[in-house]
């Protein structure tokens, strides 16, 4: 393959950012998701192209997850139900 990449990128038209050029805070997010899920989530990889947006989004997402009217005992049941309604294999 021509260019600087040694192997073709499959799955997205936007290639993942170069980890070496990312701020430590973004690398920490990628490392955390790799530990939790086996690889960073696709949305995280897209947002990693704009580090300040990624960090702001993750802070907002955490706040939304922690501040909810749905009791913790029902939260994951709701996640699975919504995933099922959307045809997502949760």
Q: Where are the domains of the chain?
A: 19-85
pTM value is: 0.64
pLDDT for 13 equals: 78
Residue 11 confidence class, pLDDT cut points 50, 70, 90:
low
pLDDT for 1 equals: 43
Q: Give 49-81 pLDDT, tens digit per residue.
A: 999 999 999 999 888 888 778 888 888 898 899
Percentage of the chain modeled with pLDDT above 70 = 86
Return the higher-pLDDT residue of 37 and 2.
Answer: 37
pLDDT for 7 equals: 56
Q: Rounded to an integer, what distance in angstroms lies between the CA atom of residue 90 and that of residue 88?
A: 6
Q: Rounded to an integer, what distance in angstroms lies between the CA atom of residue 70 and that of residue 73?
A: 8
> 14: closest CA among 35, 40, 43?
43
């Amino acid at each position: 393959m021509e260019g600087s990449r040694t192997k073709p990128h499959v799955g997205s038209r936007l290639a993942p950012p170069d980890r070496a050029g990312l701020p430590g805070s973004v690398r920490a997010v990628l490392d955390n998701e790799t530990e939790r899920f086996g690889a960073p989530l696709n949305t995280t990889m897209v947002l990693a192209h704009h580090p300040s947006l990624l960090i702001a989004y993750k802070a907002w997402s955490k706040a939304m997850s922690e501040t909810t009217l749905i009791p913790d005992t029902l939260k994951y049941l709701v996640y699975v139900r919504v995933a099922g309604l959307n045809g997502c294999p949760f």
